Amino acid sequence: MSFITYLINGISLGSVYAIIALGYTMVYGIAKMLNFAHGDIIMVGGFTVFTIVTTLGLPPALGILAAVIICTVLGLVIEKIAYRPLRKAASPLAVLITAIGVSYLLQNMALLIFGANTKSFTSVVNFSGLKLADGRINITGETIVTILSCIIIMAGLTFFINKTKAGQAMLAVSEDKGAAQLMGINVNGTIALTFAIGSALAAIAGVLLCSAYPSLTPYTGAMPGIKAFVAAVFGGIGSVPGAMIGGILLGVIEIFSRAYISSQMADAIVFGVLIIVLLVKPTGILGRNIQEKV
């Protein structure tokens, strides 16, 4: 029975990874950059909800709304100030390092405002969850909400990309910026929109993550950010269903490793599986293989 509990917990954690990975993968697909600050947006989302719900005592719904708005605006501002000027830089490393700078900036701003102490986060989910099989399987409310949110986001995003004009523009820009521009697509606007969506998703992921693991520090977002990036690569970076599959697989592997092998080795196992997958399939599970033409 514990196996099923672990599996469900794994899917739940994986859903959080998947939501973060979606942001990563969309931004990578369109701007061809590793947004190292993406994980820290999660942390900003967490602190926003913490401030509104725990400090000010306002309703959680308001907190979530504020988190989404603040993170979206933050994502847009970062893109405009720090990333856009470097889009045509001679080396792709330039924007990577700038992203690292933004990551340091967000972490240290949070450190100044909230201090280094771990904050205990009040869950935004207020129903008690399910007990199945005579209480041997225990599914928390957070788990249910996380998995549901993930399904809804996935469905919504798939619809958005495939059925709306803005979504199609995104696909076009990620395929070929120059051609998209010639077709009259607003490339800058489309990239900004991608950052906005990615950041909004990160805000939601932040709320879900902090509800399930209720401790919050300025560095909360860093490791989940890296793991979500691993998940995105795992599934094939640039692919939306890939991010989903990668995220959930990663979550399940992590929880199982913690439960059955060693909690200290869990991260090593997660990274080890990534390496094996990439060695077998160098562009990830659903990644496209592009060969250089001679």
The secondary structure of residue 125, as a DSSP letter, is: -
Q: How far is the CB of 219 from another protein (least distance, A)?
A: 9
Residue 100 touching another protein (CB under 8 A): yes
Taking a C-beta distance cutoff of 8 angstroms, is the pair 18, 229 a contact?
Answer: no
What's the CA angle centered on 211, arms 112 and 266, to 5 degrees? 90
Applying CB under 8 A, what is the total number of residues that bind another protein? 47
The continuous run of DSSP H or E covering 25 comes out as: helix 2-31
> Of 139-147, 159-167, 181-189, 274-282, which segment contacts another protein by CB under 8 A?
274-282
Q: How far is the CB of 209 from another protein (least distance, A)?
A: 19
89: three-class secondary structure by DSSP: coil
The residue among 217, 225, 219, 220 whose CA lies nearest residue 250 is 225
Residue 178 touching another protein (CB under 8 A): no
Token output for 102: 């933004």
Residue 195 touching another protein (CB under 8 A): no
Q: Distance between CA atoms of 283 and 48, rounded to whole angstroms?
A: 36
Residue 42 touching another protein (CB under 8 A): no
Contact mark string toward another protein, 43..72, x via CB under 8 A: ------------------------------
The whole-angstrom distance between residue 198's C-alpha and the CA centroid of its chain comes to 8
Which residues make up the interface to another protein (CB under 8 A)? 28, 34, 36, 82, 85-86, 88-94, 96-98, 100-102, 104-105, 107-109, 111-112, 222, 226, 229-230, 233, 237, 262, 264-265, 267-268, 271-272, 274-275, 278-279, 282-283, 292, 294
